[in-house]
Structure 1
């Protein structure tokens, strides 16, 4: 299986950690060299580095006794969370699979390794059954495969490297390699050396068998990524200089000197399968170069490759002879690497051709065209090409006839052939789909866990997030059907509602997930704002633009620069647009009395009361602090809670008066989640990976919690109805339960 790098990673599906993250690319690698023979330069360090004697350790200790995972009974909190005891709060459960960050094919391509921030999973390639998993409280920050694919190295957030047997997951050895987080790992081509870099701004090369530190080096600007090139005689290192930006430099391992001037890494797109050449696309043209700076070939790309946002993804064929480029507006270009010629230029029209119940296919109008080719890959025999676009559609092309063989609607943004090219893997954030190339039927699904709605059921017995629903008492998890996303529970909790990208609303029984009924949402026929309708965000990643009323009678869609569109849940008929100004945020009070909307350009919150089942405008609350990253309403329906840049607010919904305003940070981070305890006496708010607790009435900071180890932002907070649990959801793909431990 060929290697497909993004800045030194083999396959990366970052899910990116923002409230509405842009889909990560899976096929871009960035390496840099000069086009002329470089002049050796001394390799500088901040301070002389002592010889490192590795500390051999056992596997890091398991999770704390009151910390449980999915499927395990949850410790019962001693008492509800309150102002008086919030300093005692602890993590009781950690649920979910984590966001997919890396996929490796190991053990003669019989095993698929999936790395997330919290675990490393191993699956059989044929049946996609889980073989083993490794989980640590501090999680995993890096992973690399040996060249023979029989072992892998994983790095932790506290600087430990573990070597594991790929088939069994059994630890071979582990040692303390860096003082801080392991950033990057890479094996030499003969598997005798292992390179590592860490947050301590240090890089080291280890002898795999003896763990002796062969080479140690530092860099004034830090080394964020490294890997072996030039027959293992050099290390390509990605360094960052606040004044000059990010660049790659090359270290001669024998002489310990830099061999090339820095080059902006924006111009390096993808590394060849053998890591002996790379695609350069910058001011000096479009070409393939080797790591000595020699030109392998230079291309004259077609005009359509630069339409719109231009190239979005690059990939080599497994044998390195072809280069495919996916571009905005659906263009695909294929080049002969050695001849420097254009072999083919084709693509799909700049709109989705796939059916979606006859209604408009939703998408977000941001960045490249939704029809843009976000990911491309070439089969082992160079006969087939698979591509995915911004709509999430997958296309399979015959490279000999240039005919599109078949296509399927999917969530995929990253797509590539599995070993032997008989199946295709599609990835999007936390999720992995596997398709047969014969008919593009889904044959396997590896679930993940991110979403836009985190909610306890009315009785508090269940917690739902994205496509996962847990039983709070025993931690048992159920999976929402693949193409559906959780919206809300029914008032009695016996049912819940989901939505799918084709604009279907589904009602399912909570106890067993059985479908009760479903309705298609009908596209409104509006002449003056047709583009608004086409911009309604299914938000493939998390369906964040959809809201259903607490009584389950209305469903709304909202997005940037558009009004709030409303439909009847009963029959899917369009009801009308709510609000006189564009609104990117829509929220109901739990008692269905209030309806609130807010647009990033309006500098106010529109407060509506629900009368006769429809929102009726009452007044506005001025808000001049920019974009609201979080808007929610307290459980008693009395408080409007807002998260803005660095600050958290609370307003009285009846009068509009400001009751709470606190600055959580001065580092220009947004407050992404705000919630109050059921009695409104304590307020919780999140910035980045931290949760801050305040006395609501005095504004006093009464406690803090570090939600995760990896810096992933906390995106959602909600208290259970009895106040015993605080549930959080983070961009690392986990849901965590917090409470006062029983002991």
Structure 2
């Protein structure tokens, strides 16, 4: 594939370089505004017609060179889609703004291209002197440049799960590149694969290593898993099947302590008692000569993000850097540790190298080989492992004192309190690709998962006095920053006091009863929950998430109904039950629609394929005979859910992605919403003939994200990027009143209540809004509290509703009109009892 950027050898003037740096900063700010998705998330969400590799995106965000225009537009559209939850047109004003900026930069680049200015290099010439200025030796290091420093409270982690299966010390943990698997290895000679979302084993243990497994590592594409095998070799596994790949590599004459893949996956480094070796993981052949230089066992090896350098740590108290291509030493050994050095890790953009030793952790500039700060001291014993978060803003260290500590590498200061729970030394630590989870391996035979906190909730401690006695109340009061409120606080109590699961659920139930204004959070997804749907009988709730899973819940208890439904290979954007309750349809970024039996959780048939883009929305017709799918390429597909075959050619008319669709209650109309340019459109179709019904409805400024018919079919609600909700007569296409406004940041979802009296509106500002035939409308204040208002008088309607800590993506009413379900970017779905949300007796008594 052609390089998506301009010629990297083209010299540029200082003024252009400054403009490019500003432009890259604008791109990084856009990424942050759009939820700061990981590079892998951007790569996965990119359109098939214009792939965006993580490395190319990283270069564009870092300002290394000006990307090509088509690459830039695809990047901006993808970021905006991840934030909006719906496709974004090339004509969107935000896309046009970046196109204009690119044109200005391109003119500047061409005008001044004969004025060379050298670019900085990660690997300097061998003759280039290293910096020795004592004033700079311990200067504070700036963080990696992709995004600004987060609020310190957002870097703290709390106990999530304990994985118990190993029968001896656990020595290594590693997440797969997509975050769907966690590999663990230890003294019992096994490698175990887990689903980090559920904490359940993903398949049977991988055995046959002939001894202790000291290290595991996934290849960058996730297709291989390398594990040290006993005292001399390495085994390669296919993590998808659990089968061994090829024969073991007999690579050392003593124990192999560490394995690491190069960023391009072409090399495998092994560190052993007598040195370091490089291998071709496909052929199993050695690559070059052994890297000799250390005078003691080599405990760890790590590649730089660009693959040019390999860092090794040793019992000889030194860290060495090697040219990974030639195998030659790169500069002099890094001296500073006074005891054996156990681990090394590069920051995601190569600006820092962290090393862990028996006396503490050190940070180095890999270009100069100089320390960048004083050692990080906090552990009371040797530090066994180090790991950077994917954005480079956090550094985790694991120690023999049984604790894990999280640091700000820019300042060298700790972030939050030490993570405690292991009853022995912690041997390994790893961040998930989205940084929402931290995995640790311990001498206590356990693996622990820690979940990142993402914000504060109001003060529940004062509200639950007497619920479980004063000690529990005081503990709750001290844990007010748990992102999911009461449930996660109970989980922390569980971790500390070994409460049983039944006891936790009883306590949560008690708290929920006493605090009905809290939406009961359904916790299980890792990442954004995009869609939520009730079954027609109200006994099940389905949720779809960015973690590629669909989950079924019992809305009466908030408990999972079954194991997650897995099969999608990318984010799941939409879920819908068939009217007869026999089918569940799911759709996602893997361009497929899948049908499931909701009673058993089993797939009905092979996926429905043929779509040439992400499937953003699915809906069944009222008579069960059609399944409609909205696709990012601007088409709408109609399927026969019984045969799994299309009923006709796709409906075409939108010239941007189709974000949402809905059938009228009588099945005679199909409404579709799209991002068709500066003015998003809603189109009505006759699903029986596939012909348009009337003219497109163009009321919104920007994309239309959601459509919904009222249960009596007399109203059509549309919601969009402009934050307005229009109510129209579907027979005429004319609005019945002025739009509902006040939804800051756009309105991704609308839903009518079964009795026609309520309209729920999801907001990207974290609120769920309600309108009751013009009688009650909710908005949010700055601390993400939802309030009900009377839009006629402007008076508040009831007390504040405390809930999601991030944008709400989807809303739906239960069939019996008693519950409202919401799905959010905070990783949870929530259930809200409507009787507690509506103080107006004339409304509440009907619920």
- TM-score by structure 2 length? 0.37
Flag the structure with higher helix content: 2
Flag the structure with higher strand content: 1
The structure with more radius of gyration: 2
- TM-score by structure 1 length? 0.41
